[in-house]
Amino acid sequence: MNTNDSQTPVLSETDNYVIYIAEEFDGETTYHVELDKVTLHFFKEEFEEFVRLVKAVKM
């Protein structure tokens, strides 16, 4: 992922994973979570729920 691309701001990145946002043509902001060969796509409300889910994980 190119972290210098102003069209797709990176929220977080590790050696293997990246989370970035993109502005769609209709003005909707989407969140993308790249996990190796899989990319999850979320709208804002869905991403907020996903973040709550991950924060609730007990290790």
Whole-number pLDDT of residue 8: 80
- pLDDT per residue as tens digits for the range 1-59: 554 455 689 999 999 999 999 999 999 999 999 999 999 999 999 999 999 999 999 98
CB contact set of 41 (below 8 Å; sequence gap of 6+): 30, 31, 32
Residue with tokens 């990246």, as numbered in its chain:
18
Whole-number pLDDT of residue 3: 46
Q: How far apart are the two ends of the chain, measured CA to CA in Å?
A: 29
Task: Select from 16, 18, 15, 19 the least CA-distant residue to 29.
Answer: 19
Question: H helices of the chain, where?
Answer: 44-55
